Structure 1
């Protein structure tokens, strides 16, 4: 595996993290108390695969400077816009924990599906199959932790 660096991956990462910064500055006040120790192991596994996914995207892409004209970029944009719409819904509907888990246009767990879809498209765009695999595992654990917490 050749180590390279992808500024494209960093741009996608920063865009995905922007709403999370606001979330951490002003988190919901109605987080259920049942989210406790049972979630710690799942959370740890989730975070490990989150970090692995991003590190692979940043440092292992075969095509770190992929063309913006790629069809994968359309997928990235669609998932990113949908993700931002969800964050807008969260902030405009009172920033409650309940809003984070609401379906969107009949799609369950959209706050899990949309960013994972964006990251998978990014991994394909940068031709980084290890990141595709790690992101799919991250997405499955993320979905499981979301399912268990609700």
Structure 2
């Protein structure tokens, strides 16, 4: 783990933020009601994880660069983010109903929550940054927890 700006982290974050910004401008009907019932603890963990993942993804450079076998972790992280983009494309292509946000992508449950968390865990391993890995785990506890609760509330 070493300090330095990470262009790879910037690309990963762009893949994360761009569809979320588009979604935020046109949230599905009923989402605000679900959000009001979120656990305050889960919301806090999600927010802490969001800030920590964003910062650590940008400020830690990968000390070994693109050398094998470490490169496989980065490839896996990008593959998960590509599946994340596919899940968003499916959502935006369809009718954008609330339940569509929580529909599995093949065998992947809650893909809009699980895929980016797993991707940033793999990215943190590639960076050799325990801080990024821990931040992604904290994010995952909150974000996946919230999505799981929403899915249960919708009885999906």
TM-score in same-fold range (> 0.5): yes
- Residue 93 of structure 1 deviates from its aligned partner by 1.3
For the Cα contact (< 8 Å) 1:83–1:114, is it kept in 2? yes
Q: Which residue of 2 aligns with 1:83?
A: 84
For the Cα contact (< 8 Å) 1:30–1:96, is it kept in 2? no
Q: Which residue of 1 aligns with 2:149?
A: 148
- In the alignment, structure 1 segments of 5+ residues that lack a partner are none
The 1:77–1:21 alpha-carbon spacing in structure 2 relative to 1, beyond 3 Å, is same
The answer on 1:127 being equivalent to 2:128 is yes
Q: How does 1:78-117 map to 2 (within 5 A)?
A: 78-117=79-118
The 1:22–1:46 alpha-carbon spacing in structure 2 relative to 1, beyond 3 Å, is same
The 1:57–1:77 alpha-carbon spacing in structure 2 relative to 1, beyond 3 Å, is closer
- In the alignment, structure 2 segments of 5+ residues that lack a partner are 152-156
For the Cα contact (< 8 Å) 1:39–1:149, is it kept in 2? no
The 1:28–1:62 alpha-carbon spacing in structure 2 relative to 1, beyond 3 Å, is same
- Residue 39 of structure 1 deviates from its aligned partner by 3.3
Paired residues, number? 149
Structure-1 separation of matches of 2:142 and 2:38:
14
- Residue 60 of structure 1 deviates from its aligned partner by 3.3
TM-score, L = length of structure 2: 0.82
Query: What is the SS of the residue equivalent to 1:28?
Result: coil
For the Cα contact (< 8 Å) 2:45–2:141, is it kept in 1? no
CA RMSD of superposed structures (Å): 2.2
Structure-2 separation of matches of 1:38 and 1:30:
13
